[in-house]
Amino acid sequence: MPPVQQTEHPYIVRVESICGGRPTAKGTRISVRHIAQLYKAGDMVEEILQAHPHLSAAAVYDAISYYLDHQEEIEQEIAENRSLTANEMHNQVVFLQAFKR
């Protein structure tokens, strides 16, 4: 098993082989970035738990707390993810256009 790097938040860890070592909810592949995006979109903790029933309420609250303590880092991850997603969408369009010809 890869080494687990504890954070100052008891439910948040970093594991190099999971999400590239980015912070995740302990024992899952759910990133703090993902939970932060849901939280920022207005999802209540109860809604996040319904979407991810394997998470505990404590883990969700801790992920939100981690986000608030490390906002700059997580916002950078969100921006990088948006950029990757936009690039992937562009590549899909180019790929599909090649088939139309």
17 contacts 2 by C-beta, under 8 angstroms? yes
Confidence at residue 48, expressed as pLDDT on a 0 to 100 scale: 97
User: Which domain does 56 fall in, by range?
Assistant: 4-100
The shares of helix, strand and coil residues in the chain, as percent rounded to the nearest 5, are 60, 10, 30
- CATH code, domain with 53: 1.10.10.10
pLDDT band at residue 80, thresholds of 50, 70 and 90? confident
pTM of the shown model: 0.79
Could you tell me what percent of the chain has a pLDDT over 90? 73
* Tokens at 63, concatenated: 């992920």
Give residue 63's identity as a one-letter amino acid code: A
Vertex 13 angle, CA 40 and 52, to 5°: 50
pLDDT tens profile 30-74: 999 999 999 999 999 999 999 999 999 999 999 999 999 999 999
Split into its structural domains, the chain has a count of 1
